[in-house]
Amino acid sequence: MKIALDAMGSDARPRPDVDGAVQAAREWNVSIALVGDETKIKTELAKHDSRGLTIEIVHTATEIMMTDHVDAVKSKRDASMNVAVRQVKQKQADAFVTMGNSGAAMAAALLGLGRIRGIDRPAFAAVIPSGTARTLLLDIGANAEVKPENLFQFALMGSIYAQKVMGIPNPRVALLSNGEEEGKGTTTVREAYARLKTSKINFIGNAEGKDVPRGFADVIVSDGFAGNVMIKTMEGVAESLVGFLRAEIKSRPLAIVGAALAKPAFDALRKRLDYAEIGGAPVLGVDGVTIIGHGRSNAKAVKNAIRAAIQAVDGNMLDAIRAGIAQNLN
């Protein structure tokens, strides 16, 4: 198996990207094509003992920046993420992984790989902490407006990703809505509810915003507007609450002792919320395994994004989605 990694993706590129690739190659015996500036990549690679690892460099001097508009995918034909996508398209690699500009990465994957037959709209997913476990939330922004059939397809793809990559045997799938009862939500949500209820998916009904962090379901399905509002609200609230509590503890009598005693708890929380533990999230529905990580990724996050790609390839995720679509045509 070979993973095409956009080595010019992360904010601190190419160091975390190369470091993570070396770690992944060593740990899982996977081949990696590092796509990007050869000189810079070689400088980073030289810091590691990569003997026995199958790591190659695919040179390109162009890269897409975090500040670039998504159209840069078309104007910068030889940008590292486009070249990495072509590796997959031309069957030279099995999966595309990047820590780069997520809007551009999604566009690069969609333009370069196309859609899986039967999937009308690909979705961008995120893995979020929920209770003691994790939940896949999709769509988080690729499709502000959807039809019921799109939500159904998101549910199907999310369920398969949860099985194949997150290792959840019979994932519980819920629709994000403004009330738990059947009949709550927009017309689109209500129609998707009816479609899901009679499908082979393990559909458990509607989830409200408050249910998600409690681990109510393994997969939460939403349009990209409300899904985006949800994930960014989670981020904003977590940041604001933690900031408030830290400041309060530090402002109290015995502040030094209090802060010292609270620190391990805050560290544990940070670890729980840490994107590096998760590593990346898939674009589902494009015809090639695509994992996008955070720009702030460190080597561990890159390694874990590569792991998600390996699991998706190993689990034949794309074939499973194709089979799921075929089974659920009605």
Query: Cα separations (Å) of 92 from 87, 170, 238?
Result: 5, 33, 41
Q: How far is the CB of 275 from a copy of itself (least distance, A)?
A: 14
Identity of the residue, 118 or 209, whose beta carbon is nearer to a copy of itself in the bound complex: 209
Identity of the residue, 257 or 326, whose beta carbon is nearer to a copy of itself in the bound complex: 257
Identity of the residue, 1 or 245, whose beta carbon is nearer to a copy of itself in the bound complex: 245
Q: How far is the CB of 95 from a copy of itself (least distance, A)?
A: 27
Q: What share of the chain is helix, strand, coil (3-state, %, to 5)?
A: 45, 20, 35
> Given CA atoms 190, 156, 293, 165 in this order, what sign does their dihedral have?
positive
Identity of the residue, 65 or 265, whose beta carbon is nearer to a copy of itself in the bound complex: 265
Instruction: Answer for the pair 59, 38: CB distance below 8 angstroms, yes or no.
Output: yes
Q: How far is the CB of 127 from a copy of itself (least distance, A)?
A: 16
Identity of the residue, 213 or 295, whose beta carbon is nearer to a copy of itself in the bound complex: 213
CA-CA distance, 139 to 142, in Å (whole number)? 6
Positions touching a copy of itself (CB under 8 A) are: 131, 141, 144-145, 176-179, 184-187, 189, 208-214, 222, 224-226, 228-242, 244-245, 248-249, 252, 254, 257-258, 261-262, 264-266, 268-269, 272
Helix-then-strand count for the chain, H and E: 12, 11
**Going by DSSP bridges, is the β-strand pair 281-284/55-59 parallel, antiparallel, or unpaired?**
unpaired
Tokens of 229: 């509002």
Identity of the residue, 131 or 167, whose beta carbon is nearer to a copy of itself in the bound complex: 131
Identity of the residue, 259 or 325, whose beta carbon is nearer to a copy of itself in the bound complex: 259
Q: How far is the CB of 137 from a copy of itself (least distance, A)?
A: 11
Identity of the residue, 90 or 244, whose beta carbon is nearer to a copy of itself in the bound complex: 244
Q: If we measure between CA atoms, which residue out of 152, 96, 97, 105 comes closest to residue 124?
A: 105
CA-CA distance, 248 to 229, in Å (whole number)? 28
Q: How far is the CB of 74 from a copy of itself (least distance, A)?
A: 18
Q: How far is the CB of 133 from a copy of itself (least distance, A)?
A: 12
DSSP assignment of 69-119:
-TTHHHH-TTBHHHHHHHHHHTTS-SEEEE-S-HHHHHHHHHHHH-BPTT-
Q: How far is the CB of 83 from a copy of itself (least distance, A)?
A: 27
Q: What stretches of 133-249 adopt beta strand conformation (E)?
A: 133-138, 173-176, 203-207, 219-221
Q: How far is the CB of 46 from a copy of itself (least distance, A)?
A: 39
